[in-house]
Amino acid sequence: MKKWNLIIDVAKCTNCNNCFLTNRDEHVDNDFPGYAAPQPRLGHRWIDIRRKERGRAPMIDVAYLPTMCNHCDNAPCVKASKDGAVYQRPDGIVIIDPQKARGNKEIVKSCPYGSIWWNEEHNVAQKWIFDAHLLDQGWKEPRCVQACPTGAMHSIKVEDSEMQSLAKSEELEVLRPELTAKPRVYYKNLYRFSEYFVGGSVAVDRNGTLDCLPGAEVALLRGGARIAEQRTDAFGDFKFDRLEPASGAYAVEIAHPGHEKKTIEVQLGESQYLGTTYLK
């Protein structure tokens, strides 16, 4: 059977908050029996955007990560509920029944992603419902997808085998796969939020005149082995990305014909801009 999935491209998210706002517009003061009780005016962020800054000036980037209920196939919240208070529909959407789940605060604690919220007024756990009430009326996509101005969000209803093939070909990832919850929310370019880079600039001193040095050969080494190579761009910059966090010691070798070679030792604890290296 075809099931719903959400794909989020981290590289395209600009933190406009349209997804967050449309979700609040849909649920604050609105009751959808069988789907969700009204969302509180304050406190809840069923779609929450996390932020991460990497590097330092002038080589710096900021990534935004929209997070929400992952509609997991092996959902801990479903396991923690009783009498069908939380269930997964045949189309993959996980629903917290606003009536059956009343009073069960353990449902909030069961989510390892922190994507379930407690509604004190209605005494019930709540979360993003993939706009199931709208999809059941014939909508082609959730409102967050419809409202995204950059196309960072894309919903798709396909067979699981097709989704897995797409995830492999597009290099899609899920959050915290070690939890084995099997999320149905996938991320593209997640490295911008979860991994590190090493970058720098190369310049040359020509009789007191400092110029950037394009075309310099830069190699990234680990344990003495070259793991990546590139040339500096027109501004003399280089950047090795997608490095595992806290992955230890690296070395950066910089060379250019007619100039001395330089090696910089790097201990990777976070993304680093190495500054400008001057070749004689």
Q: Are residues 55 and 114 in the same domain?
A: yes
**So what's the pLDDT on residue 206?**
79
Last residue of a domain, one of 171, 193, 215: 193
Q: Are residues 257 and 218 in the same domain?
A: yes
Q: Are residues 185 and 46 in the same domain?
A: yes
Q: Are residues 183 and 205 in the same domain?
A: no
DSSP 105-132: THHHHH-TT---EEETTTTEEE---TTH
**Residue 219, domain extent:** 196-279
DSSP assigned state of 173: B
**So what's the pLDDT on residue 209?**
80
Q: Are residues 30 and 66 in the same domain?
A: yes
Q: Write out pLDDT tens, residues 65-113.
A: 999 999 999 999 999 998 899 999 999 999 999 999 999 999 999 999 9
Cβ–Cβ under 8 Å, residues 18 and 151: no
Report residue 267 as tokens.
Answer: 């201990």
Q: Write out pLDDT tens, residues 187-206.
A: 999 999 999 999 999 999 87
**Distance from C-alpha of 167 to C-alpha of 157, rounded to nearest angstrom:** 13
Omega of the bond prior to 76 within 30 degrees of 0, cis?
A: no
Q: Write out pLDDT tens, residues 114-150.
A: 999 999 999 999 999 999 999 999 999 999 999 999 9
For residue 202, what is the domain's CATH number?
2.60.40.10
**Distance from C-alpha of 77 to C-alpha of 96, rounded to nearest angstrom:** 9
Q: Are residues 247 and 135 in the same domain?
A: no
Q: Are residues 67 and 160 in the same domain?
A: yes
Q: Are residues 166 and 204 in the same domain?
A: no
Give the rounded distance of the alpha carbon of 151 from its chain centre: 15
Total structural domains within the chain: 2
Going by C-beta distance under 8 Å and a sequence separation of 6 or more, which residues neighbour residue 92?
3, 4, 5, 71, 73, 184
Q: Are residues 218 and 80 in the same domain?
A: no
Question: Above 90 in pLDDT, residue 39?
Answer: yes
Q: Are residues 84 and 220 in the same domain?
A: no
Last residue of a domain, one of 147, 163, 193: 193
Last residue of a domain, one of 193, 215, 248: 193
Q: Are residues 170 and 202 in the same domain?
A: no
